[in-house]
Structure 1
Amino acid sequence: MRVDKARNRETVLAAAARLFAAAGDPDEVSMDAVAVAAGVGKGTVFRGFGDRRALVRELWDETLARFDAENPPAGSTSRERVLDLLLRTWRFKREHRVLGLALERAGEGSPYATAGYDRWHTTLVELLAEVPGDREFLAHALLAAVRSDLVEHLRSLPDEDVQAGLRRLVDGVVRPG
């Protein structure tokens, strides 16, 4: 990749990240706004990413890759690791709520076809190895509790309530002890 192209890519992603972090709604972040914030022409943004959906996916992938690298599931039991993953995913999606909503709204019509969902699902299936029943379904059901639209809907809930609710959910699927 040419040096200027790589620099423009990083500049555009950084500008988009700032805009999504400051926005109240994903629709507030247009390609025009990203170009202005990055100090590049709109054509540069489109040549680099193709369209808004691709830009959002690229930004989400980078953000999620940092999250995954910094936060492997913690805990000694399957239950603790499942709970840790859900709690961290909730916090991650709350912190990046507008970007997550933009991704879930980005064209495919399904939050299950988004970047990262397969990784979280695969991790949960592995963590549920000791649980009888359809682990594939259970992993999907657990991930439904941390969908971006639900995180957005419940964002005024105190952290303690979210933690308690996720703990009860996990306890219902993965029996303590």
Structure 2
Amino acid sequence: MPERRSRKDAARNREAVLAAADDLFARSGSPEDITMVDIATAAGVGKGTLFRAFGDRAGLLRALYEARLDPLREAMESGPPPLGPAASPQQRVPALLDALLCFKLDNRRLALSLEESGSGSPYQAEHYERWHGLLRAALEQIPGLTDADFTAHTLLAAVRADLVEYLAGREGVPRDTMRTQLANYTAKLIERGPGHRASIGD
């Protein structure tokens, strides 16, 4: 019984921490200024609880990112076309990229903080590998398209958090414009018909 209560307490503390962190990041203009102490205080737990549950600040950011990503992941795994697995690759590739762009626009500060944490390279993050794998698998099904692995990297570069933040924040590019630009860019890199080979210069 004590062990079960301990697990329940740990789960409850974890949810409280994620909710507090979510609120703080949503209201902050500079997420880098939010410390583990700030989050622990807002959640009503000790700082040691955060480190036991998440390891470090980067671990907490990853957990929060994954929690926000859950609805999108569910749609990708079992939802209907164009995002779900039953979609044709020509449908799914642009749908996946559009969904990722919208997610990063909705979570700009968090995505930027996560991609800049740790090694400073988003390419080493688990979520990057997942998106790359999904895109590569879809691209490999498009006849005539060569080097799906590199093409997937190229497409993901267009939705890096630092680029999204620069365009949306510094340049003030409207959301719909960014989505249209990404869709047009994607169309130049993927198969559009029999015998058509994707080319950046098309």
Alignment partners' CA distance in 2, 1:104 and 1:13: 18
Tell me how large the CA RMSD over aligned residues is. 1.7
Partner SS, residue 167 of structure 1: helix
- Is residue 78–residue 174 contact of structure 1 (8 Å, CA) maintained in 2? no
* Higher Cα radius of gyration: 2
Instruction: Please say if residues 40 and 46 of structure 2, whose CA atoms lie closer than 8 Å, have aligned partners that are also in contact.
Output: yes
What residue in structure 2 maps to residue 157 of structure 1?
Answer: 173
Which residue of structure 2 aligns with residue 20 of structure 1? Answer: 25
Higher relative contact order, chain-length normalized (CA < 8 Å, sep 6+): 1
Counting matched residue pairs gives: 177
Q: Report if aligned partners of 2:101, 2:179 keep a CA contact under 8 Å in 1.
A: no
Per the normalisation by structure 2, the TM-score is 0.81
The gaps in structure 2 that reach 5 residues or longer are 1-5, 194-202
Partner of residue 183, structure 2: 167
Q: Which amino acid aligns with 1:171?
A: A
Aligned to 1:125: 136
Partner of 2:113: 102
- For structure 1, which segment, 24-33 or 5-14, has the greater mean C-alpha deviation from structure 2 after superposition? 24-33
Residue 80 of structure 1 corresponds to which residue in structure 2? 91
Name the % identity: 44
**Alignment equivalent of 2:34, drawn from 29, 35, 43:** 29
Say if 1:64 and 1:116, in contact at 8 Å, map to a contact too: no
User: Which residue in 2 is equivalent to 1:4?
Assistant: 9
Instruction: Report the TM-score when normalising by structure 1.
Output: 0.91
- Give deviations 1:144-167, integer Å, cap 9, x for gaps: 011111110111211231122112
